[in-house]
Amino acid sequence: MIVIRKLSLVICLLLSAAAAFAFENPSGSVATVVALRGQVTALDKEGNIRELSLKSPVYLHDTLITEKQGRAQILFSDNSIISLGRSTVIRIADYSRQQDGNTDRMTTEIRKGVFRFMGGLISRHLPQKVISKTPSTTIGIRGSMYSGIIDSQGTTIFFEGGKGIDLANGAGRLALIRPGYSSKISAWNTMPGNPQRMSKQEVKSLLQGIDVNQTAQPHKMHRPGAIKINKMVDFSRAEQQALYGRNVTLRVEEQPQRAAEILQKAVNSGRLDVNKGLYSALLGMKNVDRRSFDELVRKAVSLGLTSEQAENIAEQIKESGLCQ
């Protein structure tokens, strides 16, 4: 009991000291959020999650996630623009701009949702180096603009204008060169469908889905919420743990007196180990009473965490500056 009390005091003091730390993003952003509505988050390659707002930087390897009412526009340093609609997941897989321009390249991975791509300088000078990957096709751009939808039925790509786009997968290739036409691709090993003209209503519905000024709840204030992990999206194990960890943090923020119970459920579900669970729970501990804090620490120890491990977790939180 004395060990647990001492441990909880150490963690509490470290968390208090961490409140003075300001979170600093690493240098080297590749893009900036220029328009945003609703909840939009970024998951980096280390599994850290951050809320995005207007003018937030976007980094290489970030996975951007919009929630049900979330929308965003991302401006890259070569003036490419990607618009994200509701419930969309996209990863910045590769991006490089050099002074000579000969090695410039851009690769995105679009996993689900509604999106639009407007090509910038790289697509004009090195179009073969700009690629978007989806579960059922890759998209090559020729300095053009296109939009699309990825859902349980596959991928639909709509060519809006420019020189054209190329669709390719395990079954073959298709060039879209007529503005106003689209192709549906149901799976990676299924040939892209023949170009079909989209109706005005279909085009309107698609573009409304990515319009940052459109929202089904225009008067509802945004409040960060839990991220739902859709089984259709191929999140890695590390990404899943990061998202579940974020949800634990948010639940503890809402009900700090239930922190121990929240930690118990997260660990029992197998979604998080006790180390990541305690880390996530501590991030949500704001203005919490001492009793709830002690209960959380006792629960972590009962789940197999040692005093040394708990202290290391507290140190990580202090050094990260994530605890506001």
Per DSSP, the residues of 41-106 read: EEE-TTS-EEE--TT-EE-TT-EEEE-TT-EEEEEETTS-EEEE-TT-EEEEEEEE--SS-TT-EE
* pLDDT string in tens for the chain (324-residue length): 555 555 665 565 555 544 433 233 345 799 999 889 999 999 998 888 899 998 899 999 999 999 888 999 999 988 898 999 999 999 999 999 876 667 899 999 999 999 999 888 898 888 999 999 999 999 998 778 899 999 989 999 999 888 899 999 999 999 999 999 999 999 999 999 999 998 888 888 888 888 776 543 333 334 455 665 655 555 666 667 777 787 888 788 888 888 889 989 988 988 888 888 888 888 777 766 778 777 888 888 888 888 777 777 766 666 554 444
Domain ranges of the chain: 2-23+219-320, 71-208
Architecture, CATH, for domain 71-208: Sandwich (2.60)
What is the C-alpha separation between 62 and 44, in angstroms, rounded? 5
State the Cα–Cα distance between residues 135 and 319, nearest whole angstrom.
38
